[in-house]
Amino acid sequence: MPLLFRTAAASEPAGSPDSRRPHRRAALVAATAGLAVLAVGTPVAYATLGPGASPEPRPAVAEAVRGKDYVETRLLFGTERPDGGPEVTDRQFLAFVDEEVTPRFPNGLTIQDGRGQWRDSHGVVERERSYELTLLYPASEARLRGRQIERIRDAYEKEYAQESVGRLEERVTADF
């Protein structure tokens, strides 16, 4: 919206009420425009940020968290062999899980197929089919389970000539 200003007549002395009127009006128009932008822009900004972005006060007491403290460990198993041998098959991987993982984690696990890549010890980027194995166990068992997980990693690396089995962990809250 264009702003219109009235210029003071040359005959009006500087500092007279009539000579200050255009400056006051300009300041008033600018302040009004600024307030309008804030009034319209603030709800739009909060709506853009999505749910929970509103400055509305949150309840003082948070809802009780369900579940108990667990550790989630994800192991990343590659299937290509650095020595050029045949890749690890589904049958071989599932047999490995039956022999090495299930006895240590009989309460359950999750396996997902994947595709991955990583730079090997020779600097070559390897792209390969992979498996992601997810294990959940009580945080109170972390020390014992950590040793068992290392045995699983070592066994896979030796059996299938792998340079490494990736391990990721984080504390979570779980409820079953």
The token pair that represents 95 in the structure block: 């047999």
pLDDT, tens only, 115-171: 999 888 888 898 999 999 999 999 999 999 999 999 999 999 999 999 999 999 999
pTM of the predicted structure, to 2 decimals: 0.62
Question: 175: which residues sit within 8 A by CB, 6+ positions away?
Answer: 66, 67, 68
**43-77 pLDDT, tens digit each:** 544 444 555 555 555 555 556 678 999 999 999 99
CA distance 130 to 80: 9
C-alpha span between 56 and 77 (Å, rounded): 47
Sheet with 125-138, strands from edge to edge, namely 110-119, 125-138, 68-78, 166-174
Q: Do residues 133 and 79 touch, judged by C-beta distance below 8 A?
A: no
Amino acid at 151: R
Q: How far is CA 97 from the centre of its chain?
A: 29
Instruction: Reduce the DSSP state of residue 62 to 3 states and report it.
Output: coil
Tokens of residue 42, six digits: 């603030």
Confidence class of residue 9 from pLDDT cuts 50, 70 and 90?
A: very low
Q: Say how many C-beta atoms besides its own lie within 10 A of residue 67's C-beta.
A: 10
